[in-house]
A and B are shown apart, each in its own frame.
Chain A
Amino acid sequence: MDNLNQMQHQLLTDIFKPQPNSIFDANGLAIYQANLRATAKRALSITFPTVNQLIGSELLGYFADRLLASELPYHGDWALWGKTLPTIMKGHPALANYPFVVDCAELDYQCHQLLRQQDVSFIHSTLSLLHEYSPETLFLRLNPTLYLMTSEYPIVDIRSAHMLSSTKQRQTALRQIVENTQPSMQFHVMAYKNGRNLQVSSISKLHFDWLTLIGEHSIDTALNKISNTEFSFQNWLLTALQENIILEVNHSASK
């Protein structure tokens, strides 16, 4: 089977990494190469809808070509391809005036992936543990789809702006966002699946820090580490349960 293996290997190589003097018919090879580029570009436009709106089809096609050279698809599912697009975009001269696109790409990719994950909801039977044990021994397991990120740009607002239906609305909204953004600002983002649907929102630094802490420590330790006295665990817990941010309550013996 080595001959066939070698033949298939050679065709794949010549499609993905075009080179002169291929043993295969040039016209036929060109069709497969064009198909690959078109499919890759289309896949990116689905996985990165905000980026697609921001940079347009032509530039997206350029980045699809670059990505194909460095990140080979290997799942048989284009939806899983594109993880390193933000890395490729970072520092690229074509985006010099639009540095926020890189963070938008990261958020697009994460949203696309977490939306595809299994639907989960809070395990109500674990709620009683809150009354049975002290907070030193209790942990909150957060929604496994929860994704947190920090950006210098209001990427949640940019993402929302690009869901507007008309081009004019989108451009107006984006212009306002850019005008209202000050240098050295920090924006905290929370994205997760609530049931079958995606929730993406800007959150305060306090909320961001709390989610980071409660994901790693017992309730008691996390409360001790959060320095802000304005934080109300009871209020947060109520909201978190309503919004499906928590998966379950764990006792330390079972964690």
Chain B
Amino acid sequence: MNSRKLPAQQPLIGVGLRHPHLKEALDTPSQLDFVEVHSENYFAQGGPLHAQLEHIAHHYPLSLHSTAMGVGSATPMHDDYLNKLSHLIELTNPILVSDHAAFCWGSINGAPVHSGDLLPLVYNQENLQIMVRNLDRIQQQLGRAVHIENLSTYLTLPGSTMTELEFLLCLHERTQCGLLVDLNNILVNAFNAKDESPLETGIHWIKSIPHNVIKEIHLAGFSSPILGNMAVDDHACAVSETCWSLYAATIAHHGAIPTLIEWDNALPEWQVLVNQAMHARTIAYEVLNHG
């Protein structure tokens, strides 16, 4: 396992690693401190994917980011899913484990279904209680903290009695989970809410979080929506200037926090992705050392 020594006050900087970049990530030396993979992509019990994962974990500290736990589901997740995730964690000993404040599990006409997408929660006590129950079960079985990410949402379910951030902070208080703050998701939601100043909204959002609660930051970009349409969090382009500004404000307020560049669709060259990570490192260095 890689054990890079870092200068003081520098966050770990990583990228989301997808299959097309695997060879270069393994063959090309880079300044990355960790890589993050989607857990479900490695749920196979054997085969080439397992071998790949072993290589990745040998080269880089690994973060496991799940997209299908559905921690806010009223229907409990399948044991089978949790067993696979537990096995993956045993296999790779990741530095971070995370998923989203979303629901995925349910049924349609009595038949079990998984949404295959991150569906929005109702921000009220009822959903909070479910999320606490599910997260307690997950953290107990996995034997470690799971960080929970704020969500890009495209519709609002009726019945919310608090904001998303209030909901997440209550969840943190009751489960001791860390927050994975996706700065791009804050901006996508602000854009879709026709917020006139997404950056200011984002900074207010970030400053409302107590220190030491944020355990990871995600940075990403979203494609320009067709006029009048909603923005979709497609992770298909470089981190936007607004997102970089929000990142600088976040690091300035909260200090060094592990930071990840997410780019999942229309993948660029590996070096472009690495350069984005290096840009994050530069911003963090400037902010933390020169104010």
Q: Which residues of A contact B (CB under 8 A)?
A: 1, 3-5, 7-9, 11-13, 15-17, 23-25, 27-29, 31-32, 35-36, 39-40, 72-79, 115-119, 193, 196-198
Residues in chain A near residue B117, CB distance under 8 A: 15, 32, 35-36, 39
Instruction: Tell me if B111 counts as interface (CB < 8 A to partner A).
Output: yes
Question: Which of A1, A4, A17, A79 interacts with B44 by CB under 8 Å?
Answer: A79
Additional A-B contact list (17), CB under 8 Å, known A75-B114, A77-B68: A3-B159, A4-B127, A5-B74, A7-B158, A8-B103, A9-B108, A17-B108, A24-B155, A31-B232, A39-B116, A75-B80, A75-B81, A76-B40, A77-B84, A79-B43, A193-B46, A196-B48
Q: Is B146 an interface residue (CB 8 A)?
A: no
B234 to chain A, nearest CB (A): 9
Q: Number of residues in B with C-beta < 8 Å to the partner? A: 51
Select from chain A the residue with minimum beta-carbon distance to B112: A74
The digit string for B227-260, where 1 denotes a CB below 8 A from any CB of A, is 0011010000000000000000000000000000
- State in angstroms the CA–CA spacing of A216 and B111 once bound together: 36
Neighbouring B residues of A73 by C-beta, 8 Å: 113-114, 116
Query: How far apart are A113's CB and chain B's nearest CB, in angstroms?
Result: 9
Q: Which residues of chain A are near B229, meaning CB under 8 Å?
A: 27
Distance between A196 CB and nearest chain B CB, rounded to angstroms: 5
Pair A8/B106 contact, Cβ less than 8 Å = yes
CB pair A28 B75 closer than 8 Å? no
The 8 A CB mask of B31-69 against A (1 = contact, 0 = none) is 000000000100111111111000000000000000011
Q: Which residue of B lies closest to A13 (CB)?
A: B108
Q: Would you give the shortest CB distance from A191 to chain B, in whole angstroms? A: 13
Which residues of B lie under 8 Å from residue A3 when comparing CB positions?
126, 159
- Give the docked Cα–Cα distance between A7 and B159 (Å): 10
Q: By the criterion CB–CB under 8 Å, are A72 and B154 in contact? A: no
Tell me, rounded to whole Å, the shortest Cβ–Cβ distance linking B77 to chain A: 7
